[in-house]
Amino acid sequence: MAKKFVRAIFPGSFDPITNGHLDVISRAIKLFDELVIAVGRSPVKNQLFTPEERVQMIEEIIRQRRMKGVSVESFDGLTVEYAAKKKADVILRGLRSLTDVQYEFQLAMTNRAVAGIETVFIMTSEQYGFTSSTLIREVASLGGNLSNLIPENVYERLQQRFKKRTPSEGSRKAGSQTGG
């Protein structure tokens, strides 16, 4: 029997993409024929990069690492509608720890109930179990060294971004974030 072609979408804010996300992506490309990284355009609290900037950084990584079958796009509105438009077979989400499970479980159940689409979860490496875009934004705003947790182009972009602000402005803007 011919193997079915499987297309997955990996939706998220990716503000910015981290090595944790990339760890999940590198595992996922062994399982799926095509993977679309889908950057949500809906306004998020304390957004640091525009959707265009987030897409651009991910495009650079895909190109530099010659990731086959991986592409990136931004999308508006409901993930399940975007998944249907892309004719995706599954939604991919990453798991860091048990605390992610409760929220992700609800989200996956809702998406299956409303659109009949399955969600596949991939657990990240232990070394990225504590990495979140929120923390990256906060630590970067205070000038911390993040080179082990994010790709080089993201690190450079963060350094440029926070160089433009005074330290107090940077920490004020990024200091009260939650989630993501």
Q: Which residue has the tokens 């679309």?
A: 36
Q: How far is the CB of 110 from ligand ADP (least distance, A)?
A: 13
Cis peptide before 16 (omega within 30 of 0): yes
Task: Confirm whether 21 is a catalytic residue.
Answer: yes
111, 119, 131, 177: which one contacts ligand ADP (CB under 6 A)? 131
The residue among 136, 139, 176 whose CA lies nearest residue 54 is 136
To the query of whether residue 133 is one of the catalytic residues in this protein, the response is yes
Among 65, 39, 67, smallest CA distance to 52 is for 39
φ, ψ of residue 55 in degrees (nearest 5): -65, -45
Of the residues 13, 132, 133, 141, which is catalytic?
133
Number of chain residues interacting with ligand ADP (CB under 6 A) = 17
164 noted as active-site residue: no
Residue with tokens 């987030």, as numbered in its chain: 54
Query: 129 or 167, CB closer to ligand ADP?
Result: 129
Give least dist CB 2 to ligand ADP, A. 31
Say if CB 44 and CB 17 are below 8 A apart. Answer: no
Q: Between 124 and 177, whose beta carbon lies closer to ligand ADP?
A: 124
Both tokens of 147, joined, read 């080179």
111 contributes a contact to ligand ADP by CB under 6 A:
no
* Contact residues for ligand ADP, defined by CB under 6 A: 12-14, 18, 20-21, 24, 93-94, 96, 100, 124, 128, 131-133, 180
* Catalytic residue IDs: 21, 45, 96, 133
